[in-house]
């Protein structure tokens, strides 16, 4: 079947960030999984891409980096071509290549250095420190009153943890928050107000990154910033520009997944009070509840690959050089994998979700993200009888992140 004919009966443009501004188009994804699970999506400003929508096909692509590349020189990991418009889509030239936009063996070398640094064994009693952090944040939230939970809990929790991991002052978390929003918010006017504003944001960040790089090169410690500044690939320490690219990756990865999973989950518990009551009665359910939080939130909507040879996927002929976009958010609702996939079910035992990716690119900090969610909802269960969302939150205008800008809610005290 030709690309021109490989379109569902009612075409939909998954690249259009406005499509996600009012919510994930769940019905459209369900229809595409049924009609065209490997769907050719034309682009008004590009050659088009294959949208991969079924869980099994996403896993297949993810397990084959030799055939489906994430490398910067082949376009990178975003729908837009990083090698043409830069990592953040802002045309920057001073940002190097993050390891998410590398293929093996270089990608594997980075992971070999970084994964042990975020393992529970290496981080020691970090769970106790996260618990203390959550207790302080929750104690400052006025129960029974309307609050915006994003700046009070969802955003500061992962960013304060990140400050610890990078060896930074906790007072820096609001700055990190603003930077990460700007890096991933290329389609949102609240985050990209003008090219001049983005240039000023990048200049501010480069100054911070340069000072951090020089400090960690001169006096390395055990923090992740030191690891990123001094990592050796092919026997040589990386350049400053690649340190910057990897630092952006760490900031975005450590912030966005946990923050948005937490916010979305509060929404789900507000809509499903029986689930919240069940968790409050039996905290052992956190073991299955935590992956369900990530599955249902699907904080990262997609990742992109590029076909390195002619191949076939889901009955479609993929040509060498074609963009292949893996829609995790669709795979996480695949009816052939998840029973009643639209239902939020904290007792769900079988849960091979794609919320942290799949294959070689699965998020290196996934266990730490799950730990923060587990601790946060354990402490909230002690203090909160129920959640009441006051109004629909404002969403990121993004085809990449399933993000909430605010969450106006009342936490009813236990």
Q: Is residue 4 part of a domain?
A: no
In this structure, the number of other CB atoms found within 10 A of the CB of residue 166 comes to 22
How many domains is the chain built from? 1
What is the residue whose two structure tokens read 């789900």? 268
Q: Is residue 349 part of a domain?
A: yes
Q: Is residue 84 part of a domain?
A: yes
Q: Is residue 2 part of a domain?
A: no
Q: Is residue 141 part of a domain?
A: yes
pTM of the model: 0.94
Q: Is residue 365 part of a domain?
A: yes
Q: Which domain holds residue 317?
A: 17-413
Q: How open is the CA angle 75-115-162, to the nearest 5 degrees?
A: 85
Q: Is residue 255 part of a domain?
A: yes
SS3 per residue for 329-366 = HHHCCCCCCCCCCCCCCCCCCCCCCCCCCCHHHCCCCH
Q: Quick one: how far is CA 198 from the chain centroid?
A: 21
What is the residue whose two structure tokens read 């002690």? 382
Count CA atoms closer than 13 A to 115's CA, side-chain side. Answer: 12
Q: Is residue 180 part of a domain?
A: yes
Asked if 151 contacts 404 with a C-beta cutoff of 8 angstroms, the reply is: no
Q: Rg (Cα) of the chain, in Å, rounded?
A: 21
Q: Quick one: how far is CA 410 from the chain centroid?
A: 26
Tens-digit pLDDT string for the chain (414 aa): 445 444 445 579 999 999 999 999 999 999 999 999 999 999 988 889 999 999 999 999 999 999 999 999 999 999 989 888 777 776 666 788 889 999 999 998 888 888 777 776 777 789 999 999 999 999 999 999 999 999 999 999 999 999 999 999 999 999 999 999 888 888 888 888 788 888 888 899 999 999 999 999 999 998 999 999 999 888 889 999 999 999 999 999 888 899 999 999 999 999 999 999 999 999 999 999 999 999 999 999 999 999 999 999 999 999 999 999 999 999 999 999 999 999 999 999 999 999 999 988 888 889 899 999 999 999 999 999 999 999 999 999 999 999 999 999 999 999
Which CATH number goes with the domain that contains 40? 1.10.630.10
């Amino acid at each position: 079947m030709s690309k021109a004919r490989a379109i569902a009966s009612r075409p939909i443009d998954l690249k259009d960030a406005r499509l996600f501004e009012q919510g994930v188009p769940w019905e459209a994804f369900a229809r595409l999984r049924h009609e065209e699970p490997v769907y050719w999506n034309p682009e008004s400003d590009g050659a088009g891409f294959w949208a991969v929508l079924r869980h099994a096909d996403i896993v297949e692509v993810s397990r084959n980096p030799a055939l489906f590349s994430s490398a910067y020189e082949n376009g990178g990991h975003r729908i837009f071509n990083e090698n043409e418009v830069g990592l953040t889509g802002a045309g920057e030239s001073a940002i190097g290549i993050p390891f998410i936009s590398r293929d093996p063996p270089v990608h594997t070398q980075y992971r070999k250095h970084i994964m042990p640094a975020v393992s529970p064994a290496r981080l020691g009693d970090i769970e106790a420190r996260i618990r203390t952090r959550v207790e302080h944040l929750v104690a400052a939230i006025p129960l029974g009153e309307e609050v915006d939970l994003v700046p009070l809990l969802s955003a500061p929790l992962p960013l304060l943890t990140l400050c610890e991991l990078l060896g930074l002052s906790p007072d820096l978390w609001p700055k990190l928050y603003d930077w990460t929003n700007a890096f991933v918010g290329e389609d949102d006017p609240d985050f990209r107000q003008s090219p001049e504003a983005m240039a000023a944001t990048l200049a501010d960040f480069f100054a911070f990154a340069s000072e951090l790089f020089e400090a960690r090169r001169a006096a390395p410690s055990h923090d992740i910033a030191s690891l990123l500044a001094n990592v050796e690939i092919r026997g040589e320490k990386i350049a400053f520009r690649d340190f910057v690219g990897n630092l952006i990756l760490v900031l975005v990865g450590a912030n966005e997944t946990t923050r948005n999973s937490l916010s979305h989950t509060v929404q789900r518990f507000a809509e499903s009070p029986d689930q919240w009551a069940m968790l409050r009665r039996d905290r052992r359910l956190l073991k299955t509840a935590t992956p369900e939080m990530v599955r249902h939130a699907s904080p990262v909507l997609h990742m992109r690959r590029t076909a390195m040879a002619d191949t076939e996927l889901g009955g479609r002929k993929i040509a060498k050089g074609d963009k292949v976009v893996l829609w995790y958010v669709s795979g996480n609702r695949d009816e052939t994998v998840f029973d009643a996939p639209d239902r939020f079910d904290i007792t769900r035992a079988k849960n091979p979700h794609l919320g942290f990716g799949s294959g070689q690119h699965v998020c290196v900090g996934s266990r730490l993200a799950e730990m923060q969610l587990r601790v946060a909802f354990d402490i909230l269960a002690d203090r909160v009888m129920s959640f009441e969302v006051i109004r629909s939150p404002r969403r990121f205008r993004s085809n990449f992140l399933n993000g909430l800008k605010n969450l106006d809610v009342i936490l009813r005290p236990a």
